[in-house]
């Protein structure tokens, strides 16, 4: 059965991006360090059209993350381009060949026509998280939907009971502020631990969201 999953790197103090995010520094101060564990992996580099890289205990986690995904959802801030009405020249952070390779639904308050780059089509959704969820489930068919982020988007899907699985890649850094995951959620939210994987520079924690 297909699932709706979220998968994100997080600091030990709970932030997925550091303070003072901007167009020049989209992950905020210190935020780039949350992804050092991933960018050196052969599995990550191959998915981004790069050669080389290492194989370690994170490799299986990365392979599983990238498998069986039929559609994605992300927030406006993750797609980038600032706030307010769209500047049509902005097509995301990823250049002409984004690493998603599936229909990807972008939550926004401002309408925009779909943008296709290589084999990724970004669809801009203005009528809320449930609409994006429904469209992504339909596009994915019998495959999974990945909620890419950021923190606010994942928090919304958790709060709405629309997430089946959450995987956190906990990195031993302290950011002290920024975009906080699992913020202002109900204490009634029930997470069941599925597994823990220790790897160089990161601990992978997978949870099932109990319905």
Which tens digits make up the pLDDT trace of 64-121?
Answer: 998 999 999 999 999 999 889 999 999 999 999 999 999 999 999 999 999 999 999 9
C-alpha torsion 7→119→21→133, nearest 10: -50
pTM exceeding 0.85:
yes
In the chain, pLDDT over 90 holds for what percent of residues? 89
Q: What is the DSSP-derived secondary structure letter of residue 60? A: H
Q: Is the pLDDT of residue 49 over 90?
A: no
Question: Sheet holding 144-149: strands in order across?
Answer: 115-117, 120-125, 104-107, 69-75, 144-149, 4-11, 165-171, 202-209, 191-199
Q: What is the DSSP-derived secondary structure letter of residue 13? A: T
Confidence of residue 24 (pLDDT cuts 50, 70, 90): confident
């Amino acid at each position: 059965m297909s699932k709706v999953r979220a998968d994100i790197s997080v600091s030990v103090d709970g932030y997925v991006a550091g303070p003072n995010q901007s167009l020049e520094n989209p992950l905020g101060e210190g935020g780039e360090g949350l992804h050092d564990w991933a960018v050196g992996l052969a599995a990550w580099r191959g998915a981004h059209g790069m050669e080389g890289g290492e194989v370690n205990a994170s490799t299986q986690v990365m392979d599983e993350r990238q498998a069986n995904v039929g559609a994605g959802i992300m927030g406006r801030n993750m797609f980038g381009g600032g706030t307010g009405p769209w500047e049509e020249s902005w097509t995301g952070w990823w250049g002409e060949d984004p690493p998603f390779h599936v229909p990807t639904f972008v939550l926004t308050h401002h309408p925009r026509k779909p943008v296709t780059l290589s084999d990724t089509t970004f669809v801009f959704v203005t009528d809320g998280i449930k609409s994006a969820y429904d469209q992504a489930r339909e596009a994915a068919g019998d495959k999974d939907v990945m909620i890419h982020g950021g923190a606010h988007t994942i928090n919304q899907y958790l709060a709405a009971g629309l997430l089946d699985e959450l995987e956190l890649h906990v990195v031993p850094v302290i950011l002290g502020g920024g975009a906080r995951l699992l913020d202002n959620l109900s204490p009634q939210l029930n997470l069941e631990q599925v597994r823990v994987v220790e790897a160089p520079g990161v601990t992978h924690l997978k949870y099932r969201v109990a319905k």
